[in-house]
Structure 1
Amino acid sequence: MADVVPLIEDIKKPIASAVVPTRIGSDVNYMTYDQIAECVDRGAEILCHTYNHREGSEIPSLDEETIVYEYQRGFNILARKGFPSCDILVYSSSTGNYEICHKSAEKVFKCGIKIGGSVVNNQNSNKYALARYRIDYASTEERTDWNLDDMKAFIDDCVRSGGWMIWMFHTSNSKYLHRVVCDDQGNPIFESDGSPMLMYESGQPVYDRNEVGFMYHHVGDVVYIPMLREAMEYALSKGVDIVTAQYAYKKYFGGN
């Protein structure tokens, strides 16, 4: 709410937030239903991120009936709360790579977005294994940073292919969120080596996600929100529209 929603209001393009019902309002780190509804009113779309965000290591021990049951629970909760876009699933963790999850999703949702892929989707893509392109600091030991030039190249590929891409990122992962020093206009101040100047307490970088209201996140070696803005503006300059997941589904797969 402090970073992404103001950005999409300014650019006047939508964004989707995939939420886990069992986490909503469960502690200070997660939005409440009222806050989620406010995000929708301000231009966000709400997708389902499973019922309880099971890790990929748990999936092999579950049967299809259990997975379908949990998917249905997640969908039902969000639907009752009045979020119609919750019929689109974003798989949790590495579960998007399991065939049993794709089969289970077919019984509840109209499409599913998997954990990775980094390819352009089109009308021939498996709609229960849609690829997403991760643009934040990856949750791996390698800690691959978002490279804006790579992102622009991916946008160019999308333009050439005529397909559509799903950008995916986290704003809630405290492991990769840091406060950075900004000037009076809210622009980040950089060190002599070009990296953002971090804010410190007791010799340690400040990266407490319980604190809200700051504008910039230091994610890997980039300043996150300004670079997201630049990527969005670059896409728009190339004639790529930024649309809701619901619009993209109808455009490429038809139906409601």
Structure 2
Amino acid sequence: MRLQFYDIIPSLQPYIKLICSMDCDGEADRQHIRVLPDTCVELFVNYTNSPVAIIGDELHKRSIITFRMSRPMDVQMRKGTGCVAICFYPGMAYNFFQLPMHALSDLTVSLSDLWNGMAAEIEEKLADICNAEVRVNLVQKYLLEQLASDTYDAQVAYCLNQVQLSRGLITVSKLTNDLGLSQRHLSRKFQQYVGLSPKEYLQVSRFICSLDYLKEYPARSLTEVAYKSGYYDQAHFNRDYKTYTGHSPGQVVHSQHILY
């Protein structure tokens, strides 16, 4: 699979984490990768006649959106597939799809179900374009048209930023005290924009942080990585890995098919 990353236009930079093109050839349809849960929503716009992927046991033929996952997902990209992939920052996909994120968690949805005839229009235009950068610019143009500027929630954005700055180690009570909100009110906001409660978001963020440490400090022991990531003991560390990856931390380190 060939990946090529592109610049995000300034108007979309607060909402989109990355944009890339993905082109599959050779043995792509015989291999699978395990994608681990994170807090992001991802859009895959297909510009070929080939099905975009097999996710789990389901074949997806056209453009899709994968919403926030709570469990690992096995993906097989199909031979001949080409798509533009967009990864939204946590809490930011709501601005483009206007649907409560908690109702869509763990779902992979056809783009045509959300954007109706516009999905087919985008696919047809992309199929007629040979230049990858032009394709990406066109997708960004459509995203900009769908951006709803009045749905930005400053309180949720503040919390997401604080979680990132603390690498998942801030507490829910600190967030609610900073904002003067009840935990129930903040939880409702998180469910709508992010797709999970603040407590769940912190748990996933801590897990993602530990994956970063595994890559950053490959020589350190798993016990060191666990404590540096904010885990109180090895048992909780192992439990989260089993939940989010289906494997132990050691198996994740040595696996060739897990994407993190």
TM-score by length of structure 2 reads 0.29
Structure with more of its chain in strand, by fraction: 2
If asked which structure has higher relative contact order (CA below 8 Å, sep 6+), I would say 2
TM-score by length of structure 1 reads 0.29
Structure with more of its chain in helix, by fraction: 2
